[in-house]
Amino acid sequence: MGRMAVDIGGTFTDLVYFDDDTGELTAEKSLTTPSDLTQGIQNSIALADVSPEAVSFFVHGGTTVINAITERKGVKTALITTTGFRDVLEIARGNRPDLYNLRFEKPEPFVPRYLRFEVRERMDAEGNEIEPLHLEDLDAIVATCQAEGVEAVAVQFLHSYASPAHESECAAELRKRLPDVAVTASHEITREWREYERANTAVLNAYVQPIVQRYFERLERTLGEQGLNCPMHAMQSNGGSTSFDWARAHPITLVESGPSAGVNGAALVGELCNEPSVIYLDIGGTTAKCSVIMNGEVTVTTDYKLEWSRTNPGYPVKVPVVDIVEIGTGGGSVAWFDRVGSLKVGPVSAGADPGPACYGQGGTEPTVTDAKLLTGVLDPDYFAGGQIKLDRAKAAAAMQKIADGLGVNVEEAADAVIRLADADMINALKLVSIQRGHDPRDFVLVVGGGGGAMHAATLGRELGAREVIVPRYPGYFSAWGMLATEPRRDFVRTRLMRADGVTADDVRTLYTELRDEAEEYFGSDTNVDAEDLSFAGRIDLRYQGQEHWVGVPVDMAAPTIEGVLADFHVAHERAFTFKLDDTPVEFVNFHLVATASVPRPTLKPLDNEGLSGDAAVKGTRRVRYGEDGEHEATVLARELLPAGYAGDGPLLIEEKSATTLVHPGQVLRIDELGFLRIS
Amino acid sequence: MSDKQGASSMHDPVTQEIVRGKLLAAADEMGIVIARCSMSPVIYEVLDFACGICDPKGQLIVQTNGITLFTGTFALQVESMIRRFGDDMHPGDVFMTNDPYDGGTHTCDIALIKPVFIDGTLEGFSIAVAHWSEVGGAVAGSISPSATEIYQEGIRFPGLRVCRGDVVQPDIIELIRENTRLPVMCIGDFNAELAAVRIAETRLCEIFEKYGGDFVRDTFAHILDTSEQLARQAIAALPDGVYHSTDFIDGDGVTDAQIPVCVEVRIAGEEMTFDFTGSSPQTRGPINCAYGALSSSVKTVFKSLVDPQAPSNEGWFRPLKLVCPEGTIFTATKPAPTGWYYEGSAHASELVWMALAPLAPERFSAGSYMSLCGTYFFGRDPKTDEMFVHIEPAVGGWGAMADRDGTGALIATTDGDTYNYSIELFEAKVPLRVRQYALNTDGGAGAGRQRGGFGVVREFEIVADEAHTYCSYGRSIVPPWGLEGGGDGSTNYMEFDHDGETHRVSRIAYQALARGDRVRVVTGGGGGFGDPHDRPPEAVNADVRDGYVTRDQARGAYGVVINDAGETDAEATANLRGGT
């Protein structure tokens, strides 16, 4: 028997299979097949030569949800609100982040005004009914939805986070009267306040629901026909997985499943290396992403906004999403001069087509990858294991315009491009670490994806991270991370209480309720035994009067109020430079993270048979190490490096899907699992 | 410019770009800290604040993306502290000012300024400004719409040394506590701002340590010089000439009389002069602004003209000259009230915008609802028996553009990354209930080939026994202007039901309200662009289907005939349009 993870990306469908009996890990990729994604999955399964009947656990991650939203390919969706509030979705928050642009354009709502309807009902902020629900108002709405061919309806009433009764009743009626229409009530997705944010979340869930339903059905049928009939799981945005059934009703929780799997992979690397605090970095073609893992736990927030940028308010989605900072600098990012001649890198990217100039596919703009070739980091004959021949002359020709602008030679220009790209990434890494009150010296930097390894040593050193770890299979990182995911659900209860009125019993009682809820949720999942469940609690607190809070972990079985408050003061001071000992403190949110432990793949230690440091030496190469100058680096073949190997930089470690750089003064060590450890 | 490269042996453009990125990140971090620590909804929810880092002369190097009202005030405020304290500034000092006549805006906007010393040398300043909900004065919330002197607008801090040796002076905190109605909130906001200026100091020290003082100072100069260069290029591309606009401010809060204002914009080569000579003298009511706020409002439109997206700093504004005699409505002097200064500021921006719009249609839209339409509610919360103050700016309609319809329900020019209040959030905190929050389609927006965006209607119900409201809205008589044949937009007003009658007002001081009374904040739609008869009939039809425009308006204003089935009658439309 074995466990399979499939990650469908824009270009490749990655598959990782772990054979429980032999402990062998298989990784394969095939081209993604956009017209029918299941084809790509079948191709990858065939390449991996895995018998579908042997698969006992299947987890799936992909971009179906986010693509449907960003490409505006969801279904025709309607929205029903409390009378007086159908325009809230269009009014949004009214902010203009692009504040000097007097031609500002707001993000357009996903439901046009003629499909936004109102029914009479009203709750107050405590959840008391002020006006009863008038279900008869639905008559005309149902008729219009039928006439217009609406495929999904979202319902969002004011204060439904406090009392969902009206929303539930309305949704039930709609499901009865519109059986072929997907219905989402906002409280089913989030129980947080703020009407616009909740409305938008419900609308986006409805907008993609029929698409995900159809896709999952097709996938189950196709793979089932091949004999793959085990329970299917979907990777969620919160770093955990869930059953297909739950995901079908809550598809918006899958919105960032790919990146979340990557972060999860980094957490697993940390666990395997006994390093519970990890800063994760993934450098792709157009962007770099980073995130922090504290004490083995991924950081999750509900402040996620789709399509957000410094100038665009984006679309808020109030579901738990791994806290990732993404910047527009990646391997394909183009270097250019602005109007006054300042050198910039990104956010424009050469993408996969035409790609960097050195790919020789017609690209003429200088990119970060071209710079890596020109500085000697990349071997033109061993890129992607030699599958793509890199053209140094074309890279140099493209880089010439940067060299001309700076008045330097092509190699120096390439240095400059790399330094700028690294600086952008450093700022993002600092944003998730230092600016959130963490000291990078307590962390290791774990690199995922194909592009991260050649930047990691430089970034890790500037950040001050203790160690840089490049795990095995960096090119299959997301799929590998998914194999390690556990079924997870986050439960949040907002309950505003002054600290002086809270007792340890109150906290215990609340967590008992949340546990009951969690056990009920997992009880419906036949793959999970009650004894495999584990729980972690966190309480958000703030000084009275503040709106934002700081979270601290809580011992749910034996909480002490003094202990929680002491932790809060320390955490507030770490995050914001001050604490207010005399100011009353409020309890705000009680979080329960429930995870079901499932057998995790254990990596086999590296078999040193036939491996040695000498055998791994491929030769030497002149490499420009930025501020460290130019050096003759020893080039090593990763697959021949034995566990226990240690070597001093300057080094280059090459493998099929990545090249790792070790600076002069840095030390490389190969650990027993075969991970590269640079310090 | 060109010899600079040679002059500095350490001139390294790539490292300078890296340092610039770090400075921007530091300013961003200041903003995050304020929003997270603040205790005033107007700061943490509405984000009415800004932060920045200045060089030792007070020139703004980097700023957070906050609101435009503070675009031009930072440098003036830091300069005023330099004038006041000179060499008597020391490591660990923090200064506090809210003086509108010395670079500030109104008494509610409190600036904390921290001189940053590195190895004993003054290397810059960090500054944070935030709108406190209450600073005392004649009314709760501190800005009475009928104030006639600044003394009625709360406590003033003319530049106090609030920290010495990094220790907060307790007597000043007591002064705040005893002179404001919501002291916990005020002191909380003080702490948030203090945390922000301290974070910036930490980051600046790190940057100086890593890159060296000479290099960082050189980078400061480089940031300013390159922005100046870009601004000059942009101005040079505009036709030289003299451009005028005139407008009226609709009442000052004390009287309803319309107040004439004007600007003359002179473009000559690479420089631009903005001359407000001829605008009305300062008024008795509090819609005056002082020089600092005028400077912000002109810089706002100037920046949107030369390069809206690039990060702001003082360099951009070097080619800008501002002319206005003392004592006008835009350059008020002591003791003229400035509580509602953003009404004056908004008009200064609007005048410049109106004068320049025909020159740069790729940068500007037609006229907008313009006024922040600030509305205050205060009273006693029956649930807690404590005082409440609720402050709301309102969003409204913006003007159409050459290629696009105007944006609806958007915050005014004077603000920026400013949010409307979540209804759910404030209903849980104050005894108000919202009955409607909708686009103001009844009031309408300017017709045109491109249509104006819509304002909003926000209806409050009072659920307390003791409550009051006050407000001050501009553009209540003169509607937002259309461009190139586009129609005018619609006006702003407040309507309230009290004692069985409905009243319509625009600037009102201290109106008592009873439980069950309704108050409607109604904002206008923006102006249109181009001849409405040139609007494609299918766009008009879609507007009718969406309920933005009625069939009567489609026929009357746009010459588009839509039948009972919702279809466009092409022939009747052609006849109607052909006939004009």
The whole-number pLDDT of residue B579 equals 61
* Domain termination residue (choose one: A257, A291, A316): A257
Q: At A349, is the pLDDT very low, low, confident or very high (cuts 50, 70, 90)?
A: confident
- The continuous run of DSSP H or E covering A653 comes out as strand A651-655
Distance from CA of B196 to the nearest CA of A (A): 8
Q: Which of B22, B39, B409 sits opposite A545 (nearest CB)?
A: B39
For residues A161 and A240, state if they share a domain. Answer: no
Domain count, chain A: 3
Q: Which of A88, A97, A580 sits opposite B437 (nearest CB)?
A: A88
* Domain termination residue (choose one: A580, A596, A612): A596
Q: At A527, is the pLDDT very low, low, confident or very high (cuts 50, 70, 90)?
A: low
Helices H / strands E in chain B, number of each: 13, 20
Average pLDDT over chain B, rounded to an integer: 93
For residues A174 and A246, state if they share a domain. Answer: no
pLDDT in tens, A291-338: 999 888 888 888 899 988 888 999 999 999 999 888 888 888 999 998
For residues A58 and A143, state if they share a domain. Answer: no
For residues B572 and B507, state if they share a domain. Answer: no
Interface A:B, Cβ pairs < 8 A = 203
Closest residue by Cα to residue B122 from B88, B95, B98, B97: B88
Q: Which of B21, B41, B365 sits opposite A102 (nearest CB)?
A: B365
Q: At A525, is the pLDDT very low, low, confident or very high (cuts 50, 70, 90)?
A: low
- Let me know: does B342 contact B372? Beta carbons within 8 Å: yes
**Torsion, Cα of A64, A66, A72, A76 (10° steps):** 70
Does some domain include residue B49? yes
Containing domain of residue B146, as a range? Answer: 2-229
How is residue B456 written in tokens? Answer: 């909003």
Q: Which of A84, A102, A159 sits opposite B438 (nearest CB)?
A: A84
A 10 A CB-CB count for A411 gives 18
For residues B511 and B570, state if they share a domain. Answer: no
Does some domain include residue A632? no
For residues A520 and A556, state if they share a domain. Answer: yes
Rg, chain B, Cα only: 25
Which residues make Cβ contacts (< 8 Å) with residue B309, sequence separation at least 6? A98, A100, A101, A311
Does some domain include residue B308? no
Chain A residues whose beta carbon lies within 8 Å of the beta carbon of residue B38: 546-547
Q: Which of B226, B308, B419 sits opposite A340 (nearest CB)?
A: B226
For residues A29 and A89, state if they share a domain. Answer: no
For residues B89 and B149, state if they share a domain. Answer: yes
Task: Say whether A104 and B13 touch across the interface (CB within 8 A).
Answer: no
The whole-number pLDDT of residue B5 equals 34
For residues A499 and A570, state if they share a domain. Answer: yes
Closest residue by Cα to residue B492 from B478, B512, B508: B478
- Chosen from B5, B12, B16, B17 to mutate, greatest number of chain A CBs within 10 A: B17
* Domain termination residue (choose one: B229, B246, B267): B229
Chain A residues whose beta carbon lies within 8 Å of the beta carbon of residue B422: 193-197
For residues A25 and A114, state if they share a domain. Answer: no
The whole-number pLDDT of residue B32 equals 86
The whole-number pLDDT of residue A492 equals 80
- Chosen from B51, B207, B392, B417 to mutate, greatest number of chain A CBs within 10 A: B417
For residues A96 and A74, state if they share a domain. Answer: yes
Q: Is B384 on the interface with A (CB under 8 A)?
A: no
User: A423-432 as b/e, with b when 16 or more CB fall inside 10 Å?
Assistant: bbbbbbbbbb
For residues A80 and A47, state if they share a domain. Answer: no
For residues B511 and B554, state if they share a domain. Answer: no
pLDDT in tens, B404-460: 999 999 999 999 988 999 999 889 889 999 999 999 999 999 999 999 999 999 999
Task: Say whether A124 and B433 touch across the interface (CB within 8 A).
Answer: yes
For residues A495 and A568, state if they share a domain. Answer: yes
B11 by Cβ neighbours in 10 Å (0-12 / 13-18 / 19+) ranks as middle
The whole-number pLDDT of residue B65 equals 64
Tell me the CATH number at A199. Answer: 3.40.50
Task: Say whether B427 and A159 touch across the interface (CB within 8 A).
Answer: yes
Task: Say whether A95 and B418 touch across the interface (CB within 8 A).
Answer: yes
With both helix axes pointing from N to C terminus, report the angle between A195-225 and A37-48 in degrees, rounded to the nearest 10.
50
Does some domain include residue A156? yes
Does some domain include residue B136? yes
For residues B418 and B552, state if they share a domain. Answer: no
This complex has an ipTM of: 0.93
- Let me know: does A100 contact A83? Beta carbons within 8 Å: no
For residues A165 and A122, state if they share a domain. Answer: yes
For residues B438 and B560, state if they share a domain. Answer: no
> Which of A301-305, A417-421, B75-79, B167-171 is predicted with the least confidence, judged by mean pLDDT?
A301-305
Is residue A218's pLDDT more than 50?
A: yes
Does some domain include residue B475? yes
The whole-number pLDDT of residue B13 equals 79
For residues B460 and B566, state if they share a domain. Answer: no
- The continuous run of DSSP H or E covering B576 comes out as helix B570-578
**DSSP annotation of A297:** E
For residues B546 and B484, state if they share a domain. Answer: no
Task: Say whether A112 and B300 touch across the interface (CB within 8 A).
Answer: no
* Domain termination residue (choose one: B204, B229, B254): B229
* Domain termination residue (choose one: A224, A257, A290): A257
Task: Say whether A96 and B395 touch across the interface (CB within 8 A).
Answer: no
Distance from CA of B229 to the nearest CA of A (A): 7
For residues B421 and B524, state if they share a domain. Answer: yes
* CB within 8 Å of chain A, chain B residues 430-469: 433-439, 456, 459
Dihedrals φ, ψ of B446, to 5°? -60, 130
Chain B residues whose beta carbon lies within 8 Å of the beta carbon of residue A86: 438
In terms of CA atoms, which chain A residue is nearest residue B67? A99
Tell me the CATH number at A56. Answer: 3.30.420.40
Task: Say whether B417 and A104 touch across the interface (CB within 8 A).
Answer: no
Domain count, chain B: 3
Distance from CA of B347 to the nearest CA of A (A): 15
In terms of CA atoms, which chain A residue is nearest residue B436? A84
**DSSP annotation of A367:** B
In terms of CA atoms, which chain B residue is nearest residue A126? B428
In terms of CA atoms, which chain B residue is nearest residue A549? B36
Q: What angle do CA B7, B11, B12 make, to 5 degrees?
A: 155
Q: Is B65 on the interface with A (CB under 8 A)?
A: yes
Chain B residues whose beta carbon lies within 8 Å of the beta carbon of residue A544: 39, 184
For residues B467 and B568, state if they share a domain. Answer: no
Q: Which of A102, A196, A431 sits opposite B363 (nearest CB)?
A: A102
How is residue A33 written in tokens? Answer: 């097949």
Q: At A214, is the pLDDT very low, low, confident or very high (cuts 50, 70, 90)?
A: very high
- Chosen from A89, A93, A100 to mutate, greatest number of chain B CBs within 10 A: A100
For residues B567 and B449, state if they share a domain. Answer: no
Does some domain include residue B284? no
Chain B residues whose beta carbon lies within 8 Å of the beta carbon of residue A583: 184, 188
* Residue with the larger pLDDT of the pair A544 and B327: B327
Is residue A544's pLDDT more than 60?
A: yes
CA atoms of B199 and B53, how far apart (whole Å): 11
Distance from CA of A519 to the nearest CA of B (A): 31
Which residues make Cβ contacts (< 8 Å) with residue B321, sequence separation at least 6? B271, B272, B273, B274
pLDDT in tens, B123-138: 999 999 999 989 999 9
- DSSP codes, A594-605: EEE--PPPPPPP
Containing domain of residue A570, as a range? Answer: 488-596
Task: Say whether B308 and A344 touch across the interface (CB within 8 A).
Answer: no
The whole-number pLDDT of residue B2 equals 34
**Beta-carbon-side half-sphere exposure of residue B442 (alpha carbons within 13 Å):** 6
Does some domain include residue B271? no
Distance from CA of A107 to the nearest CA of B (A): 10
Chain B residues whose beta carbon lies within 8 Å of the beta carbon of residue A113: 439, 546-548
Is residue B253's pLDDT more than 50?
A: yes
Q: Which of A85, A159, A427 sits opposite B21 (nearest CB)?
A: A427
Does some domain include residue B527? yes
* CB within 8 Å of chain A, chain B residues 167-206: 184-185, 188, 191, 194-195, 198-199
In terms of CA atoms, which chain A residue is nearest residue B361? A103
Distance from CA of B580 to the nearest CA of A (A): 30
Does some domain include residue A653? no
- Chosen from B14, B403, B422 to mutate, greatest number of chain A CBs within 10 A: B14
The whole-number pLDDT of residue B6 equals 33
> Which of A72-86, A601-615, B406-420 is predicted with the least confidence, judged by mean pLDDT?
A601-615
Q: Which of B25, B39, B408 sits opposite A427 (nearest CB)?
A: B25
For residues A578 and A504, state if they share a domain. Answer: yes
In terms of CA atoms, which chain B residue is nearest residue A102? B364
Does some domain include residue A371? no
- DSSP codes, A213-224: HHHHHHHHHHHH
Closest residue by Cα to residue A14 from A659, A449, A637: A449
pLDDT in tens, A564-596: 999 999 988 877 767 887 788 999 888 898 988
A610 by Cβ neighbours in 10 Å (0-12 / 13-18 / 19+) ranks as exposed
For residues B543 and B518, state if they share a domain. Answer: no
Q: Is B428 on the interface with A (CB under 8 A)?
A: yes
The whole-number pLDDT of residue A284 equals 80
* CB within 8 Å of chain A, chain B residues 285-324: 300-301, 303-304, 308-309, 312
Task: Say whether B44 and A102 touch across the interface (CB within 8 A).
Answer: no
CA atoms of B142 and B130, how far apart (whole Å): 15
pLDDT in tens, A172-207: 999 999 999 999 999 999 888 899 999 999 999 999
In terms of CA atoms, which chain A residue is nearest residue B232? A340
Does some domain include residue A301? no
- DSSP codes, B356-395: HTTT-TTT--S----S--EEEEEEEETTTTEEEEEEE---
- Let me know: does A278 contact A443? Beta carbons within 8 Å: yes
How is residue A256 written in tokens? Answer: 């960032």
Tell me the CATH number at A589. Answer: 3.30.1490
What is the mean pLDDT of the segment spanning A457-482? 88
What is the mean pLDDT of the segment spanning B369-382? 95
Does some domain include residue B45? yes
